[in-house]
Amino acid sequence: MSKKQKKTWEQKVIDAIEKFASDYAVVYSKKERELAAHFEIGCLLSLIEFYETCGFTGTVCNEDTDGSYRYLTTPSGNPENFSYMLMTKGANAFEIRQQVRISSHVAADVFFTPDIVVIPHKTKVRSKKDPDYAGGKRTFFFVKSKEVIAAHECKSMPPFPELLVSFIGMLVVGHEWFDRPDADELIVEDGDHLAPCLFVGGSARSIHLKMIKALKSAYPMNIVVGMHSGTWNLLGEHATVVRLRNPLKLD
């Protein structure tokens, strides 16, 4: 009788993966855009969790007819028609919205759309028709950078130096408070707000972690890496996020 051959490690992996794929492909087989959407939603939930941990109560506003949170997925939609989170603590109330375009204070024609934006409650979303936007046929929605508490961006990819540095542009262009000479005074250990944050899916190499630490000490911003691997609790044991008091209430 022949001896049964022992499986190699490679064969064991292949067999296990074949079984896993057969059992779960229906769950994980999503289009690239859908995967990115899940990541973005994850970042939003993480941010809400930050605020809940800071003592804020969240309320879903503008729900869809079926009671679901209707996520604005593109800046071409009117934010007033989509859901947002209202966060309150005493008299302190602000909104967390998605895909709201920001009109920058640096120059009249500078606009951009971060994935998530935090603005005071009842901030007016402005609209205009610009002949250079969709031939003037579609409405252009935006808020002003002087109304922005924090703009956050989500990148489901490994971190690399150019990505990390480019977030400074968003910080400078999207937050009028950044230009104030006393902007440094905004940073406080128990601040209610997460400083503008770049959420990155991939984990960082040691050299990039040093770079992130250096950037965070030079600018009032956060770069949170390793979101794919479970860095979800922004106030967890090893978290070192930069927190701000409300930058629109400095005076």
Which is it for strands 111-112 and 102-103: parallel, antiparallel or unpaired? antiparallel
Candidate residues 24, 165, 166, 235; the one interacting with another protein per rule CB under 8 A:
24
Which is it for strands 222-224 and 243-244: parallel, antiparallel or unpaired? unpaired
87/14 Cα distance (integer angstroms) = 48
Candidate residues 63, 80, 179, 185; the one interacting with another protein per rule CB under 8 A:
63
Shortest distance, CB of residue 93 to another protein, whole angstroms? 15
Shortest distance, CB of residue 209 to another protein, whole angstroms? 12
Choose the binding region for another protein from 5-13, 115-123, 144-152, 214-222 (rule: CB under 8 A): 5-13
Nearer to another protein, 37 or 187 (CB): 37
Choose the binding region for another protein from 70-78, 100-108, 213-221, 235-243 (rule: CB under 8 A): 70-78
Shortest distance, CB of residue 168 to another protein, whole angstroms? 21
Q: Given its phi and psi angles, is residue 11 left (phi above 0), alpha (psi -120 to 50 degrees) or beta?
A: alpha
- State which of positions 176-235 bind another protein (CB under 8 A): 201-205, 226-230, 232
71 binds another protein (CB under 8 A): yes
131 binds another protein (CB under 8 A): no
Shortest distance, CB of residue 184 to another protein, whole angstroms? 31
Residue 196: alpha-carbon gap to chain centroid: 9
Nearer to another protein, 63 or 179 (CB): 63
Backbone angles phi, psi at 46, to 5 degrees: -65, -40
Specify the amino acid at residue 137.
K
128 binds another protein (CB under 8 A): no
Cβ atoms of residues 186 and 177 within 8 Å = yes
Helix (H) or strand (E) run with residue 151 in it: strand 150-155
Cβ atoms of residues 170 and 222 within 8 Å = no
111 binds another protein (CB under 8 A): no
Place of tokens 């400095």: 250
Residue 26: alpha-carbon gap to chain centroid: 28
Question: Residues with Cβ < 8 Å from 130, sequence gap 6 or more?
Answer: 136, 140
Shortest distance, CB of residue 154 to another protein, whole angstroms? 9
Choose the binding region for another protein from 23-31, 109-117, 162-170, 175-183 (rule: CB under 8 A): 23-31
93 binds another protein (CB under 8 A): no
Other Cβ atoms less than 10 A from the Cβ of 109: the count is 9
Copy the structure tokens of residue 122.
């009842």
Residues that bind another protein (CB under 8 A): 9-10, 12-14, 16-18, 20-21, 23-32, 34-43, 45-46, 48-49, 52, 57-60, 63-64, 66-71, 73, 85, 156, 158-159, 201-205, 226-230, 232
